[in-house]
Amino acid sequence: MVELSGSGPNLERQEGPHAHWLGLHPSNGWLYAADMGSDTLLQLSLHRGSGQLAIESVTPTSPGAGPRHIAFNSTGDRAYVVYELSSGVGVFDVRPDGVLVGRQELSTLPADNIVESSGADIAVTADGGTVFASNRGHNSVVRFRSDASGELHVVDWTATADIPRSITVTPDGRHLLVANQDADLVQIYQCADDGQLTPTFSFPIATPVCIKCR
């Protein structure tokens, strides 16, 4: 067990640490965590004999951003973080030693948005060319394209049902699945080579909050 500490400027949501996501890097052996409460990303090691976790590095995000989920590209040299409280996405380089180094931050919302919204989930296509993030409140999935340098550029927004809490790209890269918490609905979108989404079908399921493909 690792004891976390710290807080953020949002007094209602960041009064203390809140480890919202934990996952394994696709190739370097490190674990990573997003601490929404302290605006930090953690690099962790796991001692396989004792099962003990240890913090190897801590990377700060923008104050009040509220990092919620992390997704890595398939080569493992880049990490994408969705921010719940600021409705943003952060782009981080993954150094050979596993440390995350920030390089870019973008909004997940259009400039003319006037509805209350929060970032929810993030997904990357297998080729690393497209990054998706979901907006709860604006009820949309934003599409970013990655350029040759690895930086992201907003392409468009696709409307979803109410509160798209979880998203995932199927292993073959052909579909994006969206779990809409308040609509009791999972939506399936066809995903073109450039990441353009086309609604295909949907099915009801009670309060879906997490969706994964195996």
Residues 79 and 164 in one domain: no
Give the tens place of pLDDT for each residue, 65-99. 999 999 999 999 999 999 999 999 999 999 999 99
Looking at residue 50, its pLDDT comes to 81
Is pLDDT at 195 greater than 80 in this prediction? yes
- What percent of the chain is predicted at pLDDT more than 90? 93
Rg (CA), the chain: 17
* 4, part of any domain: no
Residues 202 and 161 in one domain: yes
Residues 81 and 131 in one domain: no
**What tokens were used for 40?**
């930090």
Instruction: Among 68, 91, 107, identify where a domain stops.
Output: 107
Residues 211 and 118 in one domain: yes
Is pLDDT at 115 greater than 80 in this prediction? yes
Fill in the amino acid letter for 23. G
Residues 26 and 52 in one domain: yes
- CATH, residue 198: 2.120.10.30
Q: Are 189 and 176 in contact (CB under 8 A)?
A: yes
> Domain limits at 86?
15-107
Question: 3-class DSSP state for residue 169?
Answer: strand
Measured between alpha carbons, how far is 149 from 134 in angstroms, rounded to an integer? 24
Domain count, the chain: 2
Alpha carbon dihedral 104, 10, 5, 210, in 10-degree steps, equals -70
Measured between alpha carbons, how far is 123 from 106 in angstroms, rounded to an integer? 15
Q: What is the pTM of this model?
A: 0.96
Alpha helix ranges (H) inside the chain: none
Residues 96 and 116 in one domain: no
Give the tens place of pLDDT for each residue, 40-67. 999 999 888 788 999 999 999 999 999 9
* 2, part of any domain: no
Residues 143 and 208 in one domain: yes
Q: Are 135 and 159 in contact (CB under 8 A)?
A: no
| CA separation, residue 160 to residues 70, 107, 119, 126, 137 (Å) | 21, 18, 14, 23, 10
Q: Are 192 and 149 in contact (CB under 8 A)?
A: no
